């Protein structure tokens, strides 16, 4: 399982502090700095492949590194929970499934 971040782009414009998380080239989530809140900025992370996601598949952290670590742990938990049909839906040949 090889996770990587790449900048989010909308209409060919990169969004600062906003990243797509990929696993072997497939989009599986997002990490972004949520600085629009009045209580201070937090890094939000979300596991979001094209499958239903449990409530623990998202969260927030105070630093980008903490968000990456939390995302990785949630992804490990999520991918370990998939059955064969779920792995096929995620394209099991990507290596992102257990």
- pLDDT tens column, 79-89: 888 766 666 66
d(CA 11, CA 73): 31
pTM above 0.85, yes or no: no
Indicate the DSSP class of residue 55: G
> pLDDT of 40-73, one tens digit each?
789 999 999 878 888 999 999 999 999 999 999 9
Task: Give me the residue spans of the domains in the chain.
Answer: 3-94
Which of 1-5, 56-60, 88-92 comes out lowest in average pLDDT?
A: 88-92
């Amino acid at each position: 399982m090889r996770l990587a971040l790449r900048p989010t782009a909308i209409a060919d414009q990169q969004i600062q502090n906003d990243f797509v998380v990929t696993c072997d080239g497939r989009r599986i989530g997002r990490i972004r700095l949520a600085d629009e809140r009045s209580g201070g900025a937090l890094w939000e992370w979300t596991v979001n492949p094209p499958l239903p996601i449990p409530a623990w598949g998202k969260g927030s952290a105070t630093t980008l590194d903490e968000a990456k670590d939390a995302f990785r742990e949630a992804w490990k938990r999520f991918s370990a929970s998939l059955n064969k049909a779920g792995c096929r839906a995620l394209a099991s040949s990507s290596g992102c499934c257990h």
